[in-house]
């Protein structure tokens, strides 16, 4: 699972939400956390996965019959379902499907291949002050691969950053921080028991890693708070998060990220139930109220909502 080559989910271009300027975002597969609100469920597993577009599928089950390792089976309502961890990424089911209903999530790439894709957008980085962002899943779960992509890109004059949950060993950060001057990290909840219930992991390691990044120097920290109504948006949690941030060195800004449902269709393709079906995305007015709660604690520090400064 670890190594110089990486498990990549996809590469997206001209993003303006994952760092300064225009960005190329390298989404990587594999994450130690399983947040209830995750919008990229196809990034959670390190292994390749197969999804089924139920709008196209005619339930002919050719894909199931043709799979050489029996990774596909019948799921809900007799749609094909990929058994976790079994797909080897051969793509035979995709070729055999007569209705183009099968989708593959994940591919192996070398650092050189990724840097080649990143460099195609070099002119946009130059004019916008942008670069590329390693995202996930959890990008730093593959530290050797991430470090090599960052190093090779820097040799070309292209700066990169990472968006991380910080839920990885500190030695992973030691490999990548020399190649970054800023890093983005989420704080999902300050209460460790609630954090474990919501994400599958406690938060002690996460908070300790964030402190260490600040103490190390040379790398600015941008803290992001995914705001999920009724889940982690209480004023108490906002204040506790802001108080923690006040103690951080090299903190550049705090940003609120609004919960959304863009991953719902992917859950269906993977044959999984859509989580939090009762949760509505927060209104801008609510986001603004929460931003003001934070700004009263972290005075003289920029607070943003989805990339726009509001305090």
Domain-terminating residue out of 66, 90, 105: 105
In a 3-state reduction of DSSP, which class is residue 243?
A: helix
Q: Considering the domain boundaries, does residue 295 fall inside one?
A: yes
Return the CATH number at 40. Answer: 3.20.20.70
For residue range 83-126, list pLDDT tens digits in order. 988 999 999 999 999 999 999 999 999 999 999 999 999 999 99
Same domain, 22 and 120: yes
> Above pLDDT 70, what percent of the chain?
99
With the CA atoms of 77, 81, 84 and 86 taken in that order, what torsion angle do they form, in degrees rounded to the nearest 10?
150
Given a cut of 80, is residue 2 above it in pLDDT?
no
Same domain, 13 and 64: no
For residue range 199-219, list pLDDT tens digits in order. 999 999 999 999 999 998 889
Whole-angstrom distance, CA of residue 28 vs CA of residue 244: 29
Same domain, 113 and 97: no
pLDDT for residue 15: 87
Q: Considering the domain boundaries, does residue 245 fall inside one?
A: yes
Domain that includes residue 238, residue range = 6-44+107-309
Q: Is 58 exposed, middle or buried (0-12, 13-18, 19+ CB in 10 A)?
A: exposed
Same domain, 120 and 66: no
- Bridge partners, 109 (sequence order): 6
pLDDT for residue 17: 80
Whole-angstrom distance, CA of residue 260 vs CA of residue 281: 5
Same domain, 70 and 152: no
Q: 102: closest CA among 89, 86, 85, 111?
A: 89
Same domain, 31 and 133: yes
Same domain, 276 and 132: yes
Domain-terminating residue out of 105, 125, 140: 105
For residue range 257-308, list pLDDT tens digits in order. 999 999 999 999 999 999 999 999 999 999 999 999 999 999 889 999 998 9
Helix (H) or strand (E) holding 220: strand 220-227
- 8, 113, 147, 162, 279 from 139: Cα distances, Å: 9, 16, 10, 7, 27
For residue range 58-72, list pLDDT tens digits in order. 999 999 999 999 999
Q: Domains in the chain: how many in total?
A: 2
For residue range 20-50, list pLDDT tens digits in order. 999 999 999 999 999 999 999 999 999 899 9
Instruction: Categorize the per-residue pLDDT at 14 as very low, low, confident or very high, splitting at 50, 70 and 90.
Output: confident
Backbone torsions φ then ψ of 106, nearest 5 degrees = 115, 145
Q: 40: closest CA among 273, 286, 264, 303?
A: 264
Same domain, 134 and 121: yes
Same domain, 145 and 166: yes
Q: Considering the domain boundaries, does residue 1 fall inside one?
A: no
Q: Considering the domain boundaries, does residue 235 fall inside one?
A: yes
Report the predicted TM-score, pTM, of the whole model to 2 decimal places.
0.94
Domain-terminating residue out of 57, 85, 105: 105
Same domain, 111 and 101: no
């993977």: which residue's tokens?
270
Q: Considering the domain boundaries, does residue 67 fall inside one?
A: yes
pLDDT for residue 1: 42
Q: Considering the domain boundaries, does residue 111 fall inside one?
A: yes
pLDDT for residue 258: 96
pLDDT for residue 53: 96
Q: Considering the domain boundaries, does residue 27 fall inside one?
A: yes
Same domain, 86 and 221: no
Q: Considering the domain boundaries, does residue 31 fall inside one?
A: yes
Same domain, 113 and 232: yes
Return the CATH number at 62. Answer: 3.30.70.20
């Amino acid at each position: 699972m670890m190594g110089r080559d990486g498990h990549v989910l996809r590469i997206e271009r001209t993003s303006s939400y994952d760092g300064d300027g225009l960005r190329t975002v390298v989404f990587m597969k594999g994450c130690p956390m399983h947040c209830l609100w995750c919008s990229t469920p196809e990034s959670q597993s390190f292994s390749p996965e197969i999804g089924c577009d139920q709008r196209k599928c005619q339930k002919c089950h050719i894909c199931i019959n043709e799979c050489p390792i029996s990774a596909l089976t019948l799921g809900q309502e007799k749609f094909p379902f990929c058994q976790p961890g079994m797909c080897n990424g051969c793509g035979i089911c995709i070729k055999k499907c007569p209705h183009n209903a099968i989708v593959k999530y994940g591919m192996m790439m070398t650092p050189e291949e990724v840097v080649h894709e990143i460099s195609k957008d070099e002119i946009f980085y130059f004019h916008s002050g942008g670069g590329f962002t390693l995202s996930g899943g959890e990008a730093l779960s593959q530290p050797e691969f991430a470090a090599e992509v960052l190093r090779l890109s820097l040799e070309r004059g292209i700066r990169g950053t990472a968006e991380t949950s910080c839920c990885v060993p500190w030695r992973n950060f030691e490999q990548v921080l020399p190649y970054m001057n800023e890093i983005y990290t989420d704080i999902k909840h300050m209460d460790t028991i609630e954090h474990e219930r919501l994400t599958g992991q406690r938060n002690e390691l996460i908070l300790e890693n964030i402190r260490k990044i600040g103490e190390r120097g040379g790398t600015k920290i941008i803290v992001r708070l995914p705001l999920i109504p009724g889940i982690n948006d209480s004023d108490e949690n906002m204040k506790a998060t802001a108080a923690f941030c006040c103690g951080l060195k090299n903190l550049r800004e705090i940003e609120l990220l609004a919960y959304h449902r863009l991953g719902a269709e992917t859950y269906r393709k993977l044959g999984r139930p859509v989580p939090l079906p009762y949760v509505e995305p927060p209104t801008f007015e609510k986001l603004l109220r929460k931003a003001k709660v934070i700004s009263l604690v972290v005075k003289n520090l920029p607070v943003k909502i989805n990339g726009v400064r509001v305090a």
